[in-house]
Amino acid sequence: MKIEDRLSLLNYKIDKSYAHITVKPDICETCPDHFCTFACPAKCYTLIDAKLNFKYEDCVECGTCVVACAHGSVSWTNSKGAHGVKYKYG
């Protein structure tokens, strides 16, 4: 089962006015490993034409990426106001 299909099973209340994770593109540009793309279980980090692309909307708020990024690019905060992923089983 493709990850996109698995993510499509999830219910999110997307916060349009606040991104709870931000990355610093200038750091990602020179990143030698892009380990975030392998570590993030929600495929929020992808390489498009060798350039890092990040989207917070699919995030399941596990916090893996901020540990995975060894270069200080990822800033992680909690989602606000019950936005973000909403599991039915957990």
Residues at the interface with another protein (CB under 8 A): 1, 3, 6-7, 9-11, 16-17, 33, 35, 37-43, 60-64, 66-68, 70, 76-82, 84-90
Q: Minimal distance in Å, beta carbon 11 to another protein?
A: 4
Give the DSSP H/E element, type plus range, for residue 54: strand 51-54
Phi and psi at 13, nearest 5°, equal: -110, 100
| Distance, C-alpha 83 to centroid of its chain | 15
Q: Minimal distance in Å, beta carbon 46 to another protein?
A: 10
CB atoms within 10 A of CB 88: 7
Q: Minimal distance in Å, beta carbon 56 to another protein?
A: 15
Of 29 and 67, the one with the shorter C-beta distance to another protein is: 67
